Amino acid sequence: MELEQLIKSLSPEVYQNLRTAVELGRWPDGRLVAKEQREYCMQAIIYFENLHNIPETERVGFMQDRCKSEQKKDVEHKGFELKL
């Protein structure tokens, strides 16, 4: 089975379980998620979200506020230098 077919066949429940496993670092049965497993799960999650047109605000890693590096640029543009 190809990766795309596998991702297409994931149910929303499996997708949510993958997200939870990545967030908590544990599988539903309590076992730890290995570093390599976490990386594969993140790839599958991102691929699933793109494939199923999940709204940007509901995707993994979405941040409503701008990151601090963007805020720093705004401050520097006003003639001030922000040191963190």
Q: pLDDT (tens digit, 0 to 9) for every residue of the chain, 84 residues total?
A: 687 888 888 898 999 999 999 999 999 999 999 999 999 999 998 888 888 778 887 777 777 776 666 655 555 555 555 454
> What tokens appear for 48 in the block?
């699933």
pLDDT in tens, 47-64: 888 887 788 877 777 777
Task: Decide: residue 60, CB within 10 A, 0-12 exposed, 13-18 middle, 19+ buried.
Answer: middle
Can you read off the two tokens belonging to residue 22? 């990545």
pTM to 2 decimal places: 0.66
Please state the domain extents for the chain. Answer: 3-77
Give the model's pLDDT for residue 71.
59
